[in-house]
Amino acid sequence: MIPFVERFRVDLLLLLVAVSWGSTYLVAKELVSAGTVLALLAVRMLLAAGVMAAIVGVRRNHLTRSELFAGLPIGVLLAAVFAFETFGIAHTSATNVGLIISLTMVFTPVLESVVSRRRLPGTFFAAAIVAVAGVVLLAGNGTFDPPNAGDLLVLAAALVRAAHVVSMHKLTGGKAMDSLHLTTVQLGTCALLFAAGSIVYGDSIPHYLSQLDRGRLVMFLYLVLICTVFAFFVQIWAVRRTSPSRVSLLLGTEPVWAAFIGITIAHDTLGIAGYCGIALILTGTAWGRLIEQRHRQATQSESQPPRSKPSGEDDHGDGPFQGQGSLQGSA
């Protein structure tokens, strides 16, 4: 039984991660334009990968070939997520980005069911329709206008993020891999791709850095150190001290904070239809996550015979976050 004080500390840190992720979209919007996306991402990933590499070096554990071969392709997918998402941020509101990207929670089980040929219950697709209807209402904000380019780019980011999660599970599931190594490889892959891209498109890295004043530099460091490095370590630390379901539930509040920050700080304007869209997205994603979680648990209990638990075995040491090196949420 986890003491109340320890459980409160774990929950509070996870909630801080969710709030930081919710703020990511507004911070990035203040730092980016269409011509500076690749330069911003290159510097962000270079710094984050450098911090992770330094930590790995201090631990003196060698990177294995399997970690490298698994980390490279999922690192390419992660780079695509960041690219679609950040280009989208440059063309739509922070509120829209934070809520549309939450559709990953609907897309991931659908894609996983296709890959594993495991059918999802019909009620899950009802939840998915509710969430998608919410996106349509939010993007149109009460009109029949189609989603703008930024909304569609963020929607693409949500689809690719689902592919990233499923690919990560396929490539690393059941294998002994170090989470820090996998994350370092992924971030390093992103850094190399974005650095190369910034040479041929948009601002160069030196030109982008020269435009950062003190306030924007503080925001940029917040994006790297808090929203990326700190968030990753809290996940790895927390999943060993509480249940994966509780981690998922608390981190799943990210779109709520994105909407709250976008409306209160960025003053994103929404009509009644927009607020209805927010309600439908949050309802559909939460409902879909609950249905998928129950379906997965029922399937596992049917396929696995009961086993006796050795004395002292950790209740919370195994779960979907462990050993995958994932940058969940907005990293």
Question: Is-contact 221 104, C-beta < 8 A?
Answer: no
Please choose, from the candidates 178, 316, 188, 127, the residue with its C-alpha nearest in 3D space to the C-alpha of residue 240. 316
Question: Is-contact 208 44, C-beta < 8 A?
Answer: no
Residue with tokens 């990233």: 164
Please choose, from the candidates 52, 36, 18, 72, the residue with its C-alpha nearest in 3D space to the C-alpha of residue 212. 36
Please choose, from the candidates 131, 128, 173, the residue with its C-alpha nearest in 3D space to the C-alpha of residue 292. 128
Instruction: State the DSSP string of 238-266.
Output: HTTTS-HHHHHHHHTTHHHHHHHHHHHTS
Beta carbons within 8 Å of 305's beta carbon, 6+ residues apart? none
How far apart, in whole angstroms, are the C-alpha atoms of residue 282 and residue 249?
12
Tell me the three state secondary structure of residue 244: helix
Residue with tokens 């409160």: 8
State both tokens at 272. Answer: 């009644």
* Helices and strands of the chain, counted as H and E runs: 14, 0
One digit per residue, pLDDT tens: the chain, 331 residues? Answer: 457 677 788 888 888 988 998 899 899 888 988 899 999 999 999 999 999 899 888 887 888 888 899 899 999 999 999 999 999 998 888 888 888 888 887 888 888 888 888 888 888 888 888 888 887 777 766 555 667 889 899 999 999 998 988 888 788 766 778 888 888 999 999 999 999 999 999 999 999 999 999 999 999 999 988 988 888 778 767 766 776 656 766 777 788 888 888 888 888 877 888 888 888 888 887 888 788 778 777 777 766 655 544 444 343 333 333 333 345 445 4
Instruction: State the DSSP string of 10-58.
Output: HHHHHHHHHHHHHHHHHHHHHH--TTTHHHHHHHHHHHHHHHHHHHHHH
Question: Is-contact 224 328, C-beta < 8 A?
Answer: no
Beta carbons within 8 Å of 243's beta carbon, 6+ residues apart? 315, 316, 319
